[in-house]
Amino acid sequence: MEQTSMTPGEVENMFTTGGQYRFARWGRAIAPVVFGTDDDSLSAIKDAFQTVALLADMKLAEMDPEFGSNFLVFFCSDWDEIAAIPDLGHLIPDLDGVLDRLSAQNANQYRSFMFDEAGAIKLSVLLLRYDDEMASVSVQALATAQMAQTLLCWGRAAFMLKSPIGMIEENNMAIVRPVVAALIRAGYDKTMPDAAEDVTHALRLSARVNQLLKDM
pLDDT digits (tens, 9 = 90+) for 47-91: 999 999 999 999 999 999 999 999 999 999 999 999 999 999 999
Cα 30-172-72 angle, rounded to 5 deg: 20
Mean pLDDT of 135-152: 97
Decide if 182 contacts 7 (C-beta within 8 A): no
**Summary mean pLDDT of the chain:** 96
Q: How far apart are CA 41 and CA 68, in angstroms?
A: 22
> In the chain, how many domains are there?
1
Q: For residue 187, is it within any domain?
A: yes
Domain that holds residue 164: 8-215
pLDDT interval class at 3 (50, 70, 90): confident
pLDDT at 193: 97
Confidence of residue 216 (pLDDT cuts 50, 70, 90): confident
Task: Decide if 26 is inside a domain.
Answer: yes
Does 2 fall in a domain? Answer: no
User: What angle, 0 to 180 degrees and rounded to 10, lies between the N-to-C axes of helices 178-187 and 200-215?
Assistant: 120
With respect to residue 1, please indicate whether it lies within any of the assigned structural domains.
no
* pLDDT > 80? residue 1: no
In a domain, 3, yes or no: no
Q: Which of 178, 182, 152 is nearest to 165 (CA)?
A: 178
Residue 90 lies in a domain: yes
Model pLDDT, residue 10: 97
- Rounded to whole angstroms, the Cα distance separating 160 from 41 reads 26
The model's pLDDT over 174-195, given as tens digits with 9 standing for 90+, comes to 999 999 999 999 999 999 999 9
Domain contains 177: yes
Distance CA(77)–CA(91), nearest Å, equals 21
pTM, entire model: 0.95
Q: Which residue has the higher pLDDT, 39 or 148?
A: 148
| pLDDT of 138 strictly over 90 | yes
For the chain, give percent helix, strand, coil, nearest 5. Answer: 40, 20, 40
Q: What Å distances lie between residue 176 and 61, 131, 166, 192, CA to CA? A: 21, 22, 6, 21
Residue 77 within a domain: yes
